[in-house]
Chains A and B, each alone.
Chain A
């Protein structure tokens, strides 16, 4: 059974940094594209970032480009999201998601499995 467990969420002040982790199990982690998707309180889903199977290719939403960094450690079956210079508008539940196909790259991989989500609150 696929399991994705996010951790690292917290209440932080504007300008601070935070690193989210997503521990994966139940599948061959290194064979799948992984992504982060967020949902602000009462709002819809927003894609944040995706990373290729090897970690060599990364993609970011314009709203986080230059501020967030996605990475993965295939030896630890773990996905990360380093979030820097956080602002109030980054407040959201952040979901870790696994791609649906081990054969295709980021643009062709829907988000098949999702973690339970982790809350990041940015407030003074």
Chain B
């Protein structure tokens, strides 16, 4: 069982805004930065967000993220078919001295 909890699935129609939640605890999200990753089918993961809300160069501003207390969320606006992928949150956990991932959320674009 993951220390970070994500909904297993999410969906939306093209153009919609969807959010994916990530729930943790004081030892991980409550204390440390959150990272978000996108994994398209059959490919390696891609960093979408670092430092809880910063986008690396090349990531569209349709992707945004926030953190509050022991929870974080990823928002995707103007949903496109190419956004259909698995999304993972991750954070350093002080209690286990290691990185922990959420179980992943499969996003379907209807």
Contact = CB atoms under 8 A, between A and B. Distances in A.
Contact of A47 (B39, B86, B100): B100
Contacts of A95: 44-45
A116 interface: yes
B2 A44 contact: yes
Contacts of A35: 99
B32 to A, nearest CB: 6
Nearest to A110: B35
Q: Is the interface of B mostly helix, strand, loop or mixed?
A: strand
Given A47-B90, A112-B56, A117 B101 contact: no
Interface in A65-97: 95
A62 interface: yes
A117 B101 CA distance: 18
Interface residues of B, number: 26
Nearest to B39: A45
A50 B99 contact: yes
Interface string A92-120: 00010000100000111011111111000
B26 interface: no
Most buried by A among B46, B96, B99, B104: B99
B92 A60 contact: no
Interface string B78-98: 000000001010101000111
Given A108-B32, A113-B47, 8 more contacts: A44-B102, A45-B37, A47-B90, A47-B100, A108-B92, A110-B33, A110-B50, A112-B56
Interface of A: 35, 37, 44-47, 50, 59-62, 95, 100, 106-108, 110-117
What are the 3 tightest A-B residue pairs by CB atom distance, in nearest-first order? A110-B35, A47-B99, A107-B92
